[in-house]
Amino acid sequence: MSIHQLPATLGLLTLVLAAPAAAAGAKWTAVSTTAISITGDIDVADDSITFQNGERIGLKPVADAAGIFTLDPPTANPVLLNDNYLCGSNAPPKYLALPIDGTTAYLLAFDGPDVPTLAADPLDQTGICALYTYQR
């Protein structure tokens, strides 16, 4: 998939936005440059994500925001591969989303104060700080 196809593909994901439970029990292989260099492969459980280096973040669903999660605890900001962070070292992301499209998962990290709503082009949304792509 080219970078030019990505926004169109992600626009379809608003229809298939999944809770981590839909991805739970699966190991997801990092395929985007950002995922390969920052998170590595991930393991998704019902209430957490474990990164390739063994760091883990807990997830709590946001009420009235399907498929949007806060970190548990909210201050979680683990050091990932190559001394990177999900959104940077200054502060953890406020929200995460994990939409699934068949055998592809996208981890979207948001650092804005408002609960995000996934749009046709998530990169144009207020508060998005990172997008990671995985396959199984």
**Mean pLDDT for the chain overall:** 83
pLDDT at 1 over 60: no
Name which residue leads in pLDDT, 55 or 20: 55
Residue 2 CB contacts under 8 Å (≥ 6 apart), including other chains: none
Q: What is the pLDDT of residue 97?
A: 92
Read off the pLDDT of each residue in 98-121 and give the average, rounded to a whole number: 86
pLDDT in tens, 49-81: 999 999 999 999 999 888 899 999 999 999 999
Q: What is the pLDDT of residue 24?
A: 63
DSSP 20: H
Please tell me the distance from the alpha carbon of residue 116 to that of residue 122, in angstroms, as a whole number.
10
**Polymer length in residues for the chain:** 136
